């Protein structure tokens, strides 16, 4: 089996580093020593353990193309950059026939899908790469489609906690809002409680201190109109490994679809899960 060439964009960010470490130990992949980085990053090189990468700022993106073998298959880009870069990066990937897995949340998601659909390449785009959480979302989507209005009149609270460096509201939490809306609850993404204060995380939520710099805790609480019934759904993730594992499975899935001739196609992590069943 030929190793899949990949470029992990977003170094020196924590999520990109986690993916690099996972990919380096996985024989399915071959890491290219390049990474798109943010405009504020001054260094030109960055090491992850024994691996060294050339960092390429947004205004120099074409340098990345010079490092790709034109005779080989295009590498699959893994994007863990910044929400502000989501759409411009996707346009760059599509314009240069670079398939990609978009793990970065934020940006204009409809525009993101459209640019792929109008291109000759393909992508996996998801607000969450953890397969088990995606499976939970699928269960909630099933409930929303098959039992509309089941929670009509209930009061909903959504609280999500991530490390202080996460700029945007959780894409997973925002996706869940749509399902609860279909189940009869009037709630908007602006009502999501976003926690980024390490003191609150440590003292009130009891996030273990080693994971204050990397966690994703979500709680969805539903209370009946007379307050006699409460439902609570919780998924707490410490660290980033589960996201990296799902990301690399998404890359493997996308590589198989590209080998079948996929183009102009947007896949989700649900597609990745179904293919594994």
Nearest CA to 97 among 125, 120, 64, 66? Answer: 120
CA 85 to chain centre: 14
116 with 83, same domain? yes
> 162, 182, 215, 218: which one is catalytic?
162
- Do 223 and 171 share a structural domain? yes
Residue 162's nearest CA partner among 200, 188, 106 is 200
Nearest CA to 15 out of 103, 87, 75 is that of 103
pLDDT tens-place string over residues 55-85: 999 999 989 999 888 888 899 999 999 999 9
The most distant pair of C-alpha atoms in the chain lies apart, rounded to whole Å, by: 67
Beta-bridge partners for 271:
none
Whether 215 is a known active-site residue: answer: no
Query: How many folded domains does the chain comprise?
Result: 2
Per the structure, the complete domain to which residue 106 belongs is given by: 4-125+241-276
**Whole-prediction pTM value?**
0.86
Q: Which of 62, 82, 152, 166 is catalytic?
A: 166
Same domain, 254 and 233: no
With contact defined as beta carbons under 8 Å apart, do 176 and 137 qualify?
yes
Work out whether strand 76-79 and strand 193-195 pair parallel, antiparallel, or are unpaired: unpaired
What pLDDT digit, counting tens, does each position of 200-245 carry? 999 999 999 999 999 999 999 999 999 999 999 999 999 999 999 9
- Residue 165 and residue 197 share a domain: yes
Per-residue pLDDT reduced to its tens digit, 131-189: 999 999 999 999 999 999 999 999 999 999 999 988 889 989 999 999 999 999 999 99
Whether residues 216 and 253 fall in one domain: no
Q: Are 58 and 82 in contact (CB under 8 A)?
A: no
Instruction: Judge whether 162 counts as a catalytic residue.
Output: yes
Q: In CATH, what number is assigned to the domain containing residue 43? A: 3.40.50.720
């Amino acid at each position: 089996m030929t190793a899949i060439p990949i470029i992990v964009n977003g170094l020196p960010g924590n999520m990109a580093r986690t993916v690099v470490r996972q990919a380096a130990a996985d024989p399915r992949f071959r890491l290219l020593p390049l990474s798109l980085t943010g405009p504020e990053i001054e260094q030109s090189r960055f090491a992850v353990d024994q691996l060294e990468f050339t960092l390429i700022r947004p205004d120099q993106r074409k340098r990345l193309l010079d490092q790709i073998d034109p005779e080989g298959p295009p590498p699959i880009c893994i994007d863990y950059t910044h929400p502000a870069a989501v759409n411009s990066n996707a346009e760059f990937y599509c314009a240069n026939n670079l398939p990609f897995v978009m793990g970065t949340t934020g940006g204009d998601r409809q525009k993101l899908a459209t640019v792929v659909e109008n291109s000759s390449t393909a992508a996996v785009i998801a607000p969450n790469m953890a397969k088990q959480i995606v499976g939970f979302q699928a269960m909630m989507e099933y409930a929303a489609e098959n039992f509309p209005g089941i929670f009509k009149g209930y009061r909903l609270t959504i609280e999500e906690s991530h490390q202080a460096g996460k700029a945007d509201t959780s894409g997973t939490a925002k996706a869940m809002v749509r399902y609860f809306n279909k189940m009869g609850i009037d709630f908007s993404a602006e009502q999501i409680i976003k926690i980024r204060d390490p003191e609150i995380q440590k003292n009130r939520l009891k996030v273990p201190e080693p994971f204050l710099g990397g966690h994703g805790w979500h709680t969805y609480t539903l209370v009946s109109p007379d307050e006699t019934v409460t439902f609570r759904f919780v998924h707490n993730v410490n660290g980033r490994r589960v996201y990296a594992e799902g990301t690399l499975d998404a890359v493997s899935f996308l590589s198989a679809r590209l080998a079948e001739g996929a183009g102009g196609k947007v896949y989700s992590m649900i597609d990745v899960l179904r293919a594994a069943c």
